[in-house]
């Protein structure tokens, strides 16, 4: 028989449950990010791994040909959508510079919109939002971080990430790890230290700042006088190791390498940080002494898989410098370095697995013909890792540019000139163990435009460089479906609501939702 | 029967003459895009010329234009108007150079240039005026700036050996080009960076590099065996489009026809992987002698 005390405890628990239930259903608990539900896309990458892969199975290679438009959301803006949408509680959060929309994930209706006041920050693009409890976060062109009420878009707080007057801006989709909201900035046109900051997602209070390059004249600095190394892309996170992995950008001055001798750590690197303190656990520099604007900011993809005969915690990156890297993410030790796109700038690969820059390919007064060009062998658009095939799908770019530097270009900001000559985009499926290209799919354009999504059913979604969203068979790259929605500028995502799987793709300035026909 | 081909020949001749006239005029209009990456300026071998007329904007208009420009235009043209992701350097634009208080920029903003990826803007008159004021102010500053402008001067590119370049040219380029034929006078039409870009890949570099080359010839075979020829208008995985000899655009689903594209520029692409930097400068030195 149930005792009075037990009964009272149960009834209290019941009351708590009833009261807590609506909040639990709506408020986004940070722990949900560890294992995102099928009806959501909770981080820039969908989860913490950066694999941009979904376990959803409804849309398959056999039925994807029937995919049809369910709704379209027009931003009414002039800028192409580059952001990856966030989906939580049946609501999509979509961003462009200065703007965030909350959109009903079932029918594409706008729920609310917030527009940041006119500012003279750099409006180059925007990557996306982040969610936590009942807040959604937006970074701004003038390097502010804003917390909005996810229900109605009202501003909760607004803090400065970095000083826009000095030349910082932010396009960053923040990454939430427990009670840390981790935010990056950009700033290539000025000689600025590379910073990544963590804020309390409840209050906006600053928690820590990591410098990839320290403020000038910092004693003991390893950067060799370089600034830069901005962390403008969203990192990935391993909860077991409690390590955050972030790619860092190019050094500044950008093309003038003379005034910053040495490797210029930690620019063009992958760094592993403790998310509670911002302290560096290890770093791996993909491009020592970069003089070509090849950020190593691309997504560090976390995969647990066999390598060299042992099960390992791996980190994969197809980097802007045209090389594919495999690291042991526990230690940062390099396991593989091999090109995946046309390169001519390195004279070899050193013992640490770093390509060695050929000094003859540094920008010069009379110009150097360099592959890849400034846009790189790939860029920020998300790659995707498909566990079933072991393929890393990368939007690759074979390109040449000419690079110039002379003393008159000075030692500040860009400090040089470079011009793209020719480029061609191709989706490449890399065997994660070897970097060998298992298949290629022509993207029919100069540069890879879109990110990549794979699903557990064996379908790959991306965009070509011309006019279409496309679906391919992941095992061989053959085309299964396409829709001429205009040039895709973001990374497709997917979620399932009411038993129906949706695929979201940005085409031009609109967001399109595709699904199978309902009976 | 013979009339039709003859007329086509005449039309093609007219087209070619038109292209040559445009090339000879050395148009510095902002044709092309600056590139894919952040901060990439458009060809900077042309120094800005002073504006044709004083613009007479107030400091308030310029300052207000700075904010509006950053929000509306900086995305493509750079926040300093000197070129950015996909957008030309407006401080060196011929259109801006001949603009008087927005008479050219204003209609362009309203209509956009959809074929070049520039959208039409819906802005108030005051906003447009402010943007125009800011562009002109940036242009003046750029024209007066010394030192660290991102420029490549003709003198910077004189490191090659013309004799070595001629030998290389005869081996690598002689199959399609000749000094006495198509390249006669090339160094008169293009100099410096523009000539280098055109040499590496015609059509790259856009502004200053002259008009894009003639699109390749396409031969489309329909399912019933009929053959249609024209020049390439558009191609992706799913569509092939041509402009036929009477100027009409024709498209087919790529899966329902067979087609061949005579893309002669592919030879330039292959050459990019073969040049050493020395070869590149030698061939440029040789081309500079073809006046």
The CATH number of residue B74's host domain is 1.10.760.10
Q: Assess whether pLDDT exceeds 60 at residue B60.
A: yes
More confident residue, A519 or B23: A519
User: B274 and B207, same structural domain?
Assistant: yes
- End-to-end alpha carbon distance in chain B: 42
User: B279 and B205, same structural domain?
Assistant: yes
Q: Determine which of A419, A423, A462 to mutate to test the interface with B (most B C-beta atoms within 10 Å).
A: A419
Question: Using H for helix, E for strand and C for coil, what is the string for A365-434?
Answer: CCCEEECCCCCCCCCCCCCEEECCCCEEEEEEEEEEEEEECCHHHCCCCCCCEEEEEEEEEEEEEEECCC
Contact B272 A442 (CB under 8 A): no
Task: Identify whether B68 is preceded by a cis peptide bond (ω within 30 of 0).
Answer: no
Report the C-alpha gap between B115 and B103 in whole angstroms: 21
pLDDT of residue A11: 52
Per-residue pLDDT band at B54 (split at 50, 70, 90): low
Report the C-alpha gap between A202 and A343 in whole angstroms: 46
Q: Determine which of A232, A295, A421 to mutate to test the interface with B (most B C-beta atoms within 10 Å).
A: A421
Q: Determine which of B73, B75, B155, B234 to mutate to test the interface with A (most A C-beta atoms within 10 Å).
A: B75
Closest CB to A414: pick one of B85, B150, B205. B150
Over the stretch B114-152, which tens digit does the pLDDT of each residue have?
766 788 888 888 889 999 999 998 888 876 654 344 678
User: B10 and B25, same structural domain?
Assistant: yes
Contact B193 A479 (CB under 8 A): no
Q: How far is A265 from chain B (nearest CA, A)?
A: 22
Q: Answer whether A244's CB lies under 8 Å from A50's CB.
A: no
Q: Determine which of B32, B34, B36 to mutate to test the interface with A (most A C-beta atoms within 10 Å).
A: B36
Report the C-alpha gap between B220 and A109 in whole angstroms: 44
pLDDT of residue A181: 98
Contact A417 B70 (CB under 8 A): no
Map out the domains of chain A with their CATH numbers.
Answer: 41-515 (2.140.10.10)
- Residue B80 belongs to a domain: yes
Distance set, CA A233 to CA A53, A84, A100, A171, A218 (Å):
18, 12, 18, 8, 25
Contact B196 A367 (CB under 8 A): yes
Contact B237 A447 (CB under 8 A): no
Q: How far is A369 from chain B (nearest CA, A)?
A: 6
pLDDT of residue A33: 95
pLDDT of residue B39: 34
User: 3-class SS at A464?
Assistant: coil
User: B246 and B224, same structural domain?
Assistant: yes
Of A507, A473, A477, A478, whose CA–CA distance to A492 is shortest?
Answer: A507
- Residue B193 belongs to a domain: yes
Closest CB to A118: pick one of B71, B84, B121. B71
User: B182 and B63, same structural domain?
Assistant: no
| β-sheet bridge partners, residue A425 | A397
Return the minimum-mean-pLDDT range out of A108-117, B23-32, B48-57, B184-193: B23-32
Contact B156 A447 (CB under 8 A): no
- Residue B37 belongs to a domain: no
DSSP letter string, A112-176: EEEEPPP--S--S-----EEEBTEEEEE-TTSEEEEEETTT--EEEEEESS-GGGT-B-----EE
Long-range contacts of A63-68 (CB under 8 A, 24+ apart): A63/A516, A64/A459, A64/A471, A64/A480, A64/A481, A65/A480, A65/A481, A66/A516, A66/A517, A67/A471, A67/A481, A67/A483, A67/A503, A67/A514, A67/A515, A67/A516, A68/A514, A68/A515, A68/A516, A68/A517
User: B283 and B178, same structural domain?
Assistant: yes
Note whether A63 contacts B: Cβ–Cβ < 8 A.
Answer: no
- Residue B44 belongs to a domain: no
Q: Assess whether pLDDT exceeds 50 at residue B167.
A: yes
The tens-digit pLDDT sequence of chain A (519 residues) is 445 555 455 555 444 444 444 444 589 999 999 999 999 999 999 999 999 999 999 999 999 999 999 999 999 988 889 999 999 999 999 999 999 999 999 999 999 999 999 888 888 889 999 999 999 999 999 999 999 999 999 999 999 999 999 989 999 999 999 999 999 999 878 899 999 999 999 999 999 999 999 887 788 788 888 999 999 999 999 999 999 999 999 999 999 999 999 999 999 999 999 999 999 999 999 999 999 999 999 999 999 999 999 999 999 999 999 999 999 999 999 999 999 999 999 999 999 999 999 999 999 999 999 999 999 999 999 999 999 999 999 999 999 999 999 998 888 888 888 888 999 999 999 999 999 999 999 999 877 679 999 999 999 999 999 999 999 999 999 999 999 999 999 999 999 999 999 999 999 999 999 999 997
Give the chain A residue whose CA is nearest to the CA of B84.
A124
pLDDT of residue A5: 55
Q: What is the DSSP letter of A259?
A: T
Note whether A293 contacts B: Cβ–Cβ < 8 A.
Answer: yes
CA B173 to the chain's CA centroid: 22
Per-residue pLDDT band at B46 (split at 50, 70, 90): very low
Report the C-alpha gap between A409 and A519 in whole angstroms: 64
H/E stretch holding B111 reads helix B105-111
Contact A414 B39 (CB under 8 A): yes
Give the number of beta-carbon pairs within 8 Å between A and B: 163
User: B230 and B178, same structural domain?
Assistant: no
Q: Determine which of A420, A467, A472, A485 to mutate to test the interface with B (most B C-beta atoms within 10 Å).
A: A420
Note whether A300 contacts B: Cβ–Cβ < 8 A.
Answer: no
Residues 191-230 of A with CB under 8 A from B: none
Give the chain B residue whose CA is nearest to the CA of A442.
B237
From B144, B175, B197, the end of a domain falls on: B144
Q: Answer whether A237's CB lies under 8 Å from A48's CB.
A: yes
Report the C-alpha gap between A116 and A99 in whole angstroms: 6
Q: How many domains does chain B have?
A: 3
Q: pTM of the prediction? A: 0.85
The Cβ of residue A243 has, within 10 Å, a number of other Cβ atoms equal to 23
Give the chain B residue whose CA is nearest to the CA of A470.
B237
Report the C-alpha gap between A43 and A177 in whole angstroms: 10
- Residue B49 belongs to a domain: no
Q: How far is B244 from chain A (nearest CA, A)?
A: 22
Note whether B193 contacts A: Cβ–Cβ < 8 A.
Answer: yes
- Residue B165 belongs to a domain: yes
Return the minimum-mean-pLDDT range out of A98-107, B98-107, B159-168: B98-107
pLDDT of residue A6: 52
Of A150, A46, A133, whose CA–CA distance to A91 is shortest?
Answer: A150
Task: Give residue B258's domain range.
Answer: 217-264
Q: Half-sphere exposure of residue A232, counting CA atoms within 13 Å on the CB side?
A: 30
- Residue B46 belongs to a domain: no
Q: Assess whether pLDDT exceeds 80 at residue B15.
A: no
Note whether A233 contacts B: Cβ–Cβ < 8 A.
Answer: no
Contact A419 B205 (CB under 8 A): yes
User: B160 and B280, same structural domain?
Assistant: yes
Note whether A368 contacts B: Cβ–Cβ < 8 A.
Answer: yes
User: B276 and B192, same structural domain?
Assistant: yes
CA B126 to the chain's CA centroid: 32
Note whether A251 contacts B: Cβ–Cβ < 8 A.
Answer: no
Contact B197 A419 (CB under 8 A): yes
User: B124 and B248, same structural domain?
Assistant: no
Residues 111-150 of B with CB under 8 A from A: 119, 121, 147-150
pLDDT of residue A10: 52
Of A196, A189, A44, A198, whose CA–CA distance to A122 is shortest?
Answer: A189
Measured between beta carbons, the chain A residues lying within 8 angstroms of B168 are none
Q: What is the DSSP letter of A193?
A: B
User: B226 and B106, same structural domain?
Assistant: no
Task: Identify whether A171 is preceded by a cis peptide bond (ω within 30 of 0).
Answer: no
Report the C-alpha gap between A118 and A95 in whole angstroms: 16
User: 3-class SS at A269?
Assistant: strand
Q: Assess whether pLDDT exceeds 80 at residue B78.
A: no
Note whether B36 contacts A: Cβ–Cβ < 8 A.
Answer: yes
User: B161 and B78, same structural domain?
Assistant: no
User: 3-class SS at A280?
Assistant: strand
Q: Mean pLDDT in chain B? A: 77
Q: Answer whether A299's CB lies under 8 Å from A284's CB.
A: no
The Cβ of residue B137 has, within 10 Å, a number of other Cβ atoms equal to 20
- Residue B41 belongs to a domain: no
DSSP letter string, B126-166: HHHHHHHHHHHHHHHHHHH--SS-----GGGGTTS-HHHHH
Q: Answer whether A125's CB lies under 8 Å from B37's CB.
A: no
Return the minimum-mean-pLDDT range out of A131-145, B23-37, B97-111, B189-203: B23-37
Q: How far is A366 from chain B (nearest CA, A)?
A: 5
Give the chain A residue whose CA is nearest to the CA of B44.
A417
């Amino acid at each position: 028989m149930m005792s009075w005390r037990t009964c009272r405890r149960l009834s209290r628990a019941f009351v708590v449950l009833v009261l807590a239930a609506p909040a639990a259903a709506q408020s986004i608990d940070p722990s949900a990010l560890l294992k995102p539900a099928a009806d959501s896309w909770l981080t820039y990458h969908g989860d913490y791994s950066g694999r941009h892969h979904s376990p959803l199975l409804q849309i398959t290679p056999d039925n994807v040909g029937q995919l049809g438009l369910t709704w379209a959301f027009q931003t009414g803006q002039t800028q192409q959508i580059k952001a990856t949408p966030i989906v939580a509680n049946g609501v999509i959060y979509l961003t462009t510079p200065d703007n965030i929309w909350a959109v009903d994930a079932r029918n594409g209706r706008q729920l609310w919109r917030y527009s940041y006041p006119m500012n003279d920050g750099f409006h180059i693009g925007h990557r996306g939002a982040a969610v936590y409890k009942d807040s959604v976060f937006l970074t701004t062109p003038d390097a502010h971080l804003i917390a909005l009420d996810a229900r109605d878009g009202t501003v909760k707080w607004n803090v400065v990430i970095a000083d826009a007057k000095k030349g910082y801006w932010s396009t960053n989709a923040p990454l939430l790890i427990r009670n840390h909201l981790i935010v990056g900035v950009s700033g290539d046109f000025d000689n600025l230290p590379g910073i990544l900051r963590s804020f309390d997602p409840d209050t906006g209070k600053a928690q820590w700042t990591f410098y990839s390059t320290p403020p000038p004249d910092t004693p003991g600095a390893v950067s060799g006088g370089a600034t830069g190394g901005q962390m403008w892309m969203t990192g990935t996170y391993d909860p077991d190791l409690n390590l955050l992995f972030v790619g860092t950008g190019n050094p500044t001055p950008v093309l003038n390498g003379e005034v910053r001798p040495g490797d210029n750590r930690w620019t063009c690197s992958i760094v592993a940080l403790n998310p509670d303190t911002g302290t560096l656990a290890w770093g791996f520099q993909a491009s020592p002494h970069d003089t070509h604007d090849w950020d190593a900011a691309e997504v560090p993809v976390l995969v647990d898989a066999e390598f060299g005969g042992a099960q390992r915690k791996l980190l994969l990156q197809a980097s802007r410098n045209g090389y594919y890297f495999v690291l042991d993410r526990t230690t940062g030790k390099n396991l593989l370095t091999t090109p995946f796109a046309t390169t001519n700038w390195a004279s070899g690969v050193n013992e640490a697995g770093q390509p060695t820059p050929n000094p003859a390919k540094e920008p010069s007064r009379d110009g150097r013909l360099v592959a890849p060009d400034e846009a790189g062998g790939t860029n920020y658009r998300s790659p995707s890792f498909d566990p079933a095939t072991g393929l890393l799908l990368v939007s690759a770019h074979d390109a040449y540019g000419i690079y110039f530097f002379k003393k008159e270009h000075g030692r500040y900001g860009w400090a040089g000139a470079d011009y793209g000559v020719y480029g061609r985009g191709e989706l490449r499926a890399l065997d994660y163990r070897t970097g060998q290209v298992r298949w290629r799919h022509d993207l029919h354009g100069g540069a890879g435009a879109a990110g990549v999504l794979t699903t557990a059913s064996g379908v790959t979604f991306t965009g070509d460089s011309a006019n279409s969203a496309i679906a391919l068979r992941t095992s061989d790259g053959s085309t299964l479906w396409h829709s001429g929605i205009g040039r895709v500028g973001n990374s497709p995502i997917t979620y399932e609501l009411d038993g129906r799987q949706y695929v979201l793709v940005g085409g031009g300035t609109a967001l399109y939702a595709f699904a199978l026909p309902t009976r | 029967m013979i009339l039709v081909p003859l007329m086509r020949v005449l039309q093609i001749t007219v087209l070619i003459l038109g292209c040559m006239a445009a090339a000879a005029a050395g148009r510095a209009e902002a044709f092309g895009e600056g590139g894919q990456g952040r901060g990439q300026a458009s060809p900077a071998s042309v120094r800005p010329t002073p504006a044709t007329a004083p613009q007479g904007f107030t400091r308030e208009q310029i300052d207000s234009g700075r904010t509006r420009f950053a929000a509306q235009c900086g995305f493509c043209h750079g926040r300093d108007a000197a070129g950015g992701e996909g957008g030309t350097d407006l401080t060196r634009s011929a259109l801006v150079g001949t603009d008087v208080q927005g008479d050219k920029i204003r209609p362009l903003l309203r209509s956009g240039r959809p074929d070049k990826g520039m959208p039409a803007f819906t802005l108030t008159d005051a906003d447009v005026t402010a943007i125009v004021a800011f562009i002109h102010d940036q242009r003046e500053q750029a024209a007066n700036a010394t030192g660290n402008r991102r420029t490549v001067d003709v003198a910077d590119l004189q490191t090659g050996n013309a004799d070595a370049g001629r030998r290389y040219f005869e081996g690598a380029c002689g199959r399609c080009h000749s000094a006495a034929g198509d390249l006669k006078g090339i160094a008169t039409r293009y100099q410096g960076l523009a000539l280098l870009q055109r040499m590496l890949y015609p059509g790259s570099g856009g502004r200053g590099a002259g008009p894009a080359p003639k699109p390749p010839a396409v031969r489309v075979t329909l399912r019933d065996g009929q053959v249609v020829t024209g020049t390439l208008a558009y191609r992706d995985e799913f569509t092939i489009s041509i402009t036929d000899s009477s100027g009409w655009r024709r498209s087919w689903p790529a899966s329902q026809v067979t087609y061949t594209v005579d893309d002669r520029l592919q030879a330039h692409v292959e050459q990019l992987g073969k040049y050493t930097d020395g070869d590149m400068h030698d061939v440029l030195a040789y081309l500079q002698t073809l006046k």
